[in-house]
Amino acid sequence: MTTRSTTTTTRSSSTPSTAITDDDASASVSTSASPAETDATTEPDATTEADATTEPDATTKTDTETGTGTGTGTEPTSAPVAPVEAGADSHRLPRPRRSRRRGLAPGKRLPASRLIGPALFFALWALASAAGQLDPGAIPAPWTVLKTTGHLWTDGTLPTDVLTSLERAGYGFALGLSAGVVLALASGLSRVGEALIDGTVQLNRAIPTLGLIPLFILWLGIGETFKIAIIAIVVYIPIYLNLHSALSGIDHRYVELAEVQGLSRFRFVREIVIPGALPGFFVGLRLGVTGSWLSLVVLEQINATSGLGYMMFQAQNYGRTDIILVGLLIYGIFGLVSDSAVRLIERKVLSWRRTLSS
């Protein structure tokens, strides 16, 4: 009786244990438990019993512990990954720093940037003069030059010389500008014109312009005419060269497009040639403006009775370096103002073009 009761108790206790094990096995499969436990709790067949009775190797143990092993009786599942709550440890994660790449463009234009260099030059000049590092007889101080400028302006000498120089430079520049543009258009738009004009201009370019002064004096006399003619030659050469180069560099596809569209000669020049040649034209214009002032300094010292060059020549005879510096400073101011004016016009006319300078 005791043995049978014990057996009954054992059977009754093993039955719910087996049921619990089956439930746990199904629960472990649904919750992605390890495949090794699933194989151990499911109803084994012959092969499964053999696998269950054998001692698992190190690889099986490791896979069972980590939840990455693959079973033989059930489909492998991956271990569940706990979701990371937003804001829980996000403040602990290092944020990647954005590497700021250095720009290749020169950046924004500084206000009054063209005056920074001259201002530094005059500051160094004033400091050197105040420290006694410059000989007043050779290089007077800036305040001495300003004082001399005031005296020359008060007695009427400086206004007359300035107006005379402006008149000569203006006439010569206008004549040279007109000649350079006309010759460049005739040479750049026609093969016949190029054959007749370009070689002559290149020959004239190779001859020093100031070397033509004696010949022009014999031809035109010693008056104002030869001075204006020399200034015109100095001006037209850079304008012609740059404008002719710009005309020759226009893309031939634009010409073909104009022919397909049936543009007339006038519209072709107005809508294609002029916009394409304007950048080169303004480069030559700036060089021409500078050349007019450079040649004027020399020409006004040849049989002249007025002008800034004449004033400087007379100051040389009397050893007045302060007056010479006054003339040089006025020439420099004229050159800077005229070049800035050309650049301003270029910026307005070529506002459609995006360049580093803009």
Supply the CATH number for residue 250's domain.
Answer: 1.10.3720.10
Domain boundary among the residues 66, 89, 108 is at 66
Q: What is the pLDDT of residue 251?
A: 87
pLDDT of the residue at 15: 42
What pLDDT is stored for residue 179 in this prediction? 96
Residue 126 lies in a domain: no
Asked, for residue 306, whether it belongs to a domain, the answer is yes
CA distances from 316 to 160, 217, 296, 311 (A): 19, 24, 17, 9
Cβ-Cβ contacts under 8 Å for 310 (sequence gap 6 or more): 161, 300, 301, 304
Q: What is the pLDDT of residue 153?
A: 94
157 and 291 assigned to the same domain: yes
Residue 116 belongs to some domain of the structure: no
Mark whether 49 and 163 lie in a shared domain: no
Residue 72 within any structural domain of the chain: no
The Cβ-side half-sphere exposure at 82, using a 13 Å CA radius, reads 2
Residues in the chain predicted with pLDDT less than 50, given as ranges, are 1-76, 88
92 located within any domain: no
Residue 214 lies in a domain: yes
CA dihedral 168, 170, 176, 178 (to 10 degrees): -140
Q: Is residue 134 part of a domain?
A: no
pLDDT of residue 65: 43
End-of-domain residue from the set 22, 48, 66: 66
Total structural domains in the chain?
2
Distance CA 272, CA 247 (A): 10
Average pLDDT, the chain: 78
The answer to whether residue 135 is domain-embedded is no
Domain shared by 60 and 150, yes or no: no
48 lies in the same domain as 147: no
Domain coverage including residue 244:
141-349
